[in-house]
Amino acid sequence: MAQPAFLSAVRSRLRSPQPQAPALPHLQPPRRGFHVELGAREKALLEEDTALKRFKSYKNSVKQVSKVGNILTGVVLFACAYEIVALANS
């Protein structure tokens, strides 16, 4: 079955990429954005709010709950594996 001509042309282009000429540095967009000083509203929004302190997530309690969950998951997996082995041997 013969290949259409346009497929072979596409494949040859994909195989051998054409080298591109390096762009002039003054024509390229800047890599970094311009630094703009924060206004009063933005600074006020970034400050710590005392009314929200009681809703703060405490890392130690979150870590502890995560560890307990991981241990319980391990226990359940071990129990399932034990049941499977016990049923296979009986």
Q: How far apart are CA 82 and CA 88, in angstroms?
A: 10
Query: Which tops the pLDDT comparison, 4 or 43?
Result: 43
Buried b (16+ CB within 10 A) or exposed e, 3-26: eeeeeeeeeeeeeeeeeeeeeeee
Give the mean pLDDT of 67-75.
97
Give the mean pLDDT of 84-90.
90
| pLDDT tens for each residue of 40-61 | 998 998 888 888 777 776 777 8
DSSP state of 51: G
| For the chain, percent of residues with pLDDT exceeding 90 | 29
Q: Which band of pLDDT confidence, cut at 50, 70 and 90, is reported for residue 70?
A: very high
